[in-house]
Amino acid sequence: MSNSSRWSEYRYRRRVQFHEVDGAGIVHFSWFFRYMAEAVHALWRAAGLSIAPPGSDIGFPIVSTAFDYRRPMRFEDEFEACVRVAAMSEKTMRYRCLLTRESELVATGTMTIACVSMQAMKAIPIPSEIAGRFEVAADGIPGADA
């Protein structure tokens, strides 16, 4: 949600595609990480930024990520990925993600990205023009223990 052009949350709606399911007809675990990354990228776009602008001297690689699965998802399921800024430090941002289908909790996850110099591939401070577009969410995501 926006608060004076500072973002702490974004809700991203999506539908499961056929190529995302395994032989049992359920979404392969690896896709949950992609869904969370898509939601984070959408949050950045909503804040007027790109997480990977062409020709940039800095990058934001994922340095930590995890998911806890509660329910399976299948082809054609519509779901929502709610991503929130859970923490910010000088050089990193941590997100919490809640995946729901209708009102049913499907999975919870976390992701941490670091700001790095693309030349040295070393952590550097997040530029103020980027950090200033985000704020840590005031509260946690209900039902998310991640």
Residue 78 corresponds to which tokens in the numbers above? 């519509």
Per-residue model confidence as pLDDT tens digits over 10-42 = 999 999 999 999 999 999 999 999 999 999 999
* Domain count within the chain: 1
**CATH number for the domain that contains residue 65:** 3.10.129.10
With a CB cutoff of 8 Å and minimum separation 6, the contacts of 76 are: 15, 16
Specify the amino acid at residue 63. V
Task: Please answer whether residues 58 and 122 qualify as being in contact, where contact means their C-beta atoms are separated by less than 8 angstroms.
Answer: no
Cα–Cα distance, 25 to 62 (Å, whole number):
28
Per-residue model confidence as pLDDT tens digits over 70-93 = 999 999 999 999 999 999 999 999
In a domain, 141, yes or no: no
Instruction: Residue 75: give the domain boundaries.
Output: 2-128
Half-sphere exposure of 18 (CA within 13 A, CB side): 0
The pTM score is 0.90
In a domain, 13, yes or no: yes
In a domain, 101, yes or no: yes
Torsion sign across C-alpha atoms 121, 126, 129, 135:
positive
Per-residue model confidence as pLDDT tens digits over 95-126 = 999 999 999 999 999 999 999 999 999 999 99
